[in-house]
Amino acid sequence: MSGMLIAQIVGMVVTTILMVRSHPTLLKRLTAEPTQGRIVTSKSEWYLLQSLAGYGGMLILQTLSAALAPAALSILGLIGRLVSGLNTVVTNAIVPKLIHSGSDSDRSVARFVNIVVAISLSVASLGIVIAAGGQLPLAAQFAVVLAWFAAAVLNAAFKRVAVRFAEPRIAWISALLNALTAVSVLGAWAFGYQTLFVILLGYVLLDLLPGLALAILQRHTVAALLTAAGVIAIAALASPYLI
């Protein structure tokens, strides 16, 4: 994990240097005084609520996971880091090129999500087969990474679609679903279900449920439901082999 963290820091520094060298006026534009008064007022509050619920839910799950066995905590940290790195590339490098202020349709981003999800879940299914056949925990961990990644891509992509085409108040859906997920995990924990699978499923649902809801609202119901079913099935099948 330390190695991956160092690699992320180095990557961010190198990327920033390349961006500044490629666009010499970038720093000047970022630090320039705005030429117009602020236009956004209460609309940003919806996105603040969405962020608070998302990070708050993650904080609750991180706090609960501290009670897990060291081996389970290590596995959870490794899986989370890998998914976070993969999703960062999609969120910051690919999705913005597919859906932006000049976009008039979400067809390109929906097609991209379908391709990524299909490949991820297909390879994840192969990982489950390998884990079941040879009792290989690493293959199961790899399958969970891909399943969670599929959920994260669904969420990241359709959140951006919602920002482009929907009213800001639609962010309350993500906030509510994240809050319900955190409360559900707390409830399961209180009733004695203090396992790696419960925490891992909670993390996956923080991405899956908002992405599912937003995709359905954007009329991609079938693809979204198939994604949700595949992600949950793989997470459930992989759980016996994680430790």
Mean of pLDDT values over 52-62? 91
In the prediction, which pLDDT does 34 show? 58
Cα distance between residue 37 and residue 236, in whole Å: 51
Section 188-202 average pLDDT: 92
Q: Give the pLDDT confidence score for residue 91 in this predicted structure.
A: 84
In this prediction, residues 37-54 reach a mean pLDDT of 73
What is the band of 36 on the pLDDT scale with cuts at 50, 70, 90?
low
The lowest-confidence range among 71-75, 144-148, 177-181, 198-202 is: 71-75
Q: Cα separation of 170 and 160, whole Å?
A: 12
**And the tokens for 220?**
């991609």
pLDDT band at residue 138 under the 50/70/90 scheme: confident
pLDDT tier, 38 (very low <50, low <70, confident <90, very high otherwise): very low
Phi and psi at residue 105, to the nearest 5°: -155, 155
End-to-end CA distance of the chain: 18
8/128 Cα distance (integer angstroms):
29
User: Mean pLDDT across the stretch 136-152?
Assistant: 91
The answer, yes or no, to whether residue 231 has pLDDT greater than 90, is yes
Q: What is the pLDDT of residue 110?
A: 93
With 80 as the cut, is the pLDDT of residue 215 above it? yes
HSE-CB of 91 using CA atoms within 13 angstroms: 16
Distances (CA, A) of 3 to 85, 149, 202, 231: 13, 21, 26, 28
Per-residue pLDDT at 39? 46
Q: Using 50, 70 and 90 to split pLDDT, how confident is the model at 219?
A: very high
Task: Please determine, for residue 27, whether its predicted confidence score (pLDDT) is greater than 80.
Answer: no
DSSP string of the chain, one letter each residue:
-HHHHHHHHHHHHHHHHHHHHH-TTHHHHHHSPPSS----STHHHHHHHHHHHHHHHHHHHHHHHTTS-HHHHHHHHHHHHHHHHHHHHIIIIIHHHHSSTT-S-SHHHHHHHHHHHHHHHHHHHHHHHHHHHHT-HHHHHHHHHHHHHHHHHHHHHHHHHHHHHS-GGGHHHHHHHHHHHHHHHHHHHHTT--SHHHHHHHHHHHHHHHHHHHHHHTT-HHHHHHHHHHHHHHHHHHGGG--
Token pair of 151 as six digits? 């959920």
